[in-house]
Structure 1
Amino acid sequence: MVKMTQVNEVKIRQSLTKYQNPDLTQRDVVNVLGQYFALQYKVEPYVFNDGTRKDLFNLQGTIPVTYKGNVYNIPICIWLMDTHPHNAPICYVKPTANMNIKVSIFVDHNGKIYLPYLHEWVPMKSDLVGLLHIMRVTFGDQPPVYAKPVPDFNQIPNPYPVQPFMPTPSGGASTGGFPPYPTSGQYGRGSNVYPPYPTTGSSGLPYPSYSPYPGGTSNHPSAVYPGSYPPPYSPATQPAPRTPTGGAGSTDTISEEHIRDSLLSAVGDKLRRRLREQLSQGEAELETLRRTEQELVTGSARLDELLNKLNKEKSELEKNISILQDKETELEREIGKLSDNPTIDVDEAVTTIAPLFKQMLDLFAEEAAIEDAIYYLGEGLRRGVIDLEVFLKQVRHLSRRQFMLRALMLRCRQKAGLAG
């Protein structure tokens, strides 16, 4: 299963090469496909209102919708713009051959879906999972499709064999365990809806939770869709009035009780729709808060790690500062001793740690003295203080001594392991 998911992600990424934000779009698509198995992705040309065509990534399939306690699969198609998620997708309802579109404020006659979530799309905050959640809640209140009228099987022979998921002429379902085909008024007056199978959400809410729904495509027996949502009662659509209590027969007048029941039904439906919208919005906000909480927990752990590292560096700095203060105190003490004794013996001030170094120091001092002596002999010859013969004799003697000193000093440096 993990290998299959990786292959799908690779194919999805290849299909999004022309998108501006392929990483964000891929993550959004993978999240949806991980929860809605009945959806499939394709890359197809989309024709805009101005006649331009563009290859767009789209999701096609069915989503589960709970209507009056039963789960139906609604066929939809979601086109993702190449700027996703900065722009809202374009959504359609795609009815099958045995269905018609039910026009409402949320779906037009072409099947295009209009939702406040799409109109108020917030980049980097709105996502496809939240969009499908809003669709399920909205379509659970007002289904976007309804089944076409079924002919009377007792009068018109059926040239095709009855499939396991198709309702039988008697109103019951053939093999497969599906509920019988509801008659008019079973789920509301004038509705032709039939559930593929009854389902009750584990959360106890009037619509399913976010748990993955194992739906199928339109060829699967479970891909059966709800009919039209029963409109609120109104005097124009009110059925034949009931026989008043104590009356002898029916009447064509609409009593105030009928009008009152119609208004109460309309208000109740509107309140339930608003409540479901607010509940779904609250769940989406709660999910956002949970993600924010997780990010804050991760950030807190990172800050704790950095704080521990800073405390460790602070302790090391304090230790080094203490060592420097001790050295500073020692230097001040030695400076004080030198200030009390102004006369300093040079020979006692410079000491060596080994006899070999003491010998090297003496040789260097004697060689420097010979260098100075030769210099002053030259000055005496230039000024005429000494004659040339005396100068040459003394320079020859001093040079020989200087050569021996330098050779001995080089031998000492090699013995001490110093550079030559």
Structure 2
Amino acid sequence: MVQAAMTQFLNSVLSQRGPAAVPYSEDTKWLIRQQLVALSNAFPSLEAKTASYTHNDGRSVNLLQAEGTIPMSFQGVTYNIPVVIWLMESYPRHPPCVYVNPTRDMIIKRPHPHVNPSGLVSVPYLHNWTYPGSNLVDLVLNLSLHFGRDPPLYSQRRPNPNPNPNPNPNPNPNPNPNPPPPPSPSPSPYPLPPRSYPYPSASRLHSSSSTEDPSDVFKRNAINKLVDMVHGDLAAFRKSREAEMEGLFSLQGVLKQREDTLNQGLKEMQEEMEALEQQLQIVLMNTDVLEGWLRDNQGKKMGALDSPEDAFHCVDLLSNQMLHSTAADLAIEDTLYALDKALQHGALPFDQYLRSVRALSRDQFFHRATAAKVRASQLQAQVSNMAARSQHYAT
């Protein structure tokens, strides 16, 4: 039930649009949802929510965070460290920001190797964060391990609500000639109220070192050393697997580009094939027309025709215009050839040759332009006739 509510909440937040939308990349929102759900299942004390984060430059942005406590084990006792894990704008390609969140009766240990005075946490797992292998569950496990070795929070000393009026704290009438030293002003333990965050006290940390068995200390140090070695091996193994995964992602991108190129080439080939089929239909139609004319006129004599050209008649205005434009173009081409020969043999002055070529070329250009327009009109008419004929056969 809790997991379903968490999934519904994340789906609503990550799909929201507008000014209140979270600023994460669309291609990583599925991974953010998956990691937060896994974190909630592994550590129910950490709750995912949204809150306003203010950057150092004053910008405020609505971000996801996991707020709650991280359990840690210190000297056989389990404590809970309150933290806030901010998922920044570039998450999960870059690590989150983790802050220790002490309550009013807690203080941060100074100095601490992994927590600065403002509560910002810095551990190797965050420095070695890699996408997409690093995740929130492993981060919390790593934080629990480091906090258990060196707790970042201590309890503060509370004033005694019932001070002893007797100035002599020792009830023994014969005081010890060698009394213990007075309590240190450093933080010290005190009873915790119900449902509070339990955490170790400074005096317990200081006093435990003098009462522990050396064999236990050696065993604990050996176990910590083995844990560090295993963690290092796991980190190296994860890096190698992530490098392989990055290589596969790059190869996938190259294959995708090749697929797009092949699809584009196939599309162009299909379009060219359709154009060729259309031209083939026009050629076949013209062939049928010529074969029909040959069948009708086979064996007939020229009769009283003065020239062979009289045997051909243009059936429409476009054909007649095409015939005249083509004949004029070819005639000008022959004339230009004759002018070139005359110039080479010295039978024509050069300036006269230039004037003639300029005038003939201008006329030839207009004839060729006219022929091109007529050809386009004839092609459109043939396509329309073919479409009408196909529709007629279909009905």
TM-score after normalising by structure 2: 0.46
TM-score after normalising by structure 1: 0.43
Where is the helix percentage greater, Structure 1 or Structure 2? 2
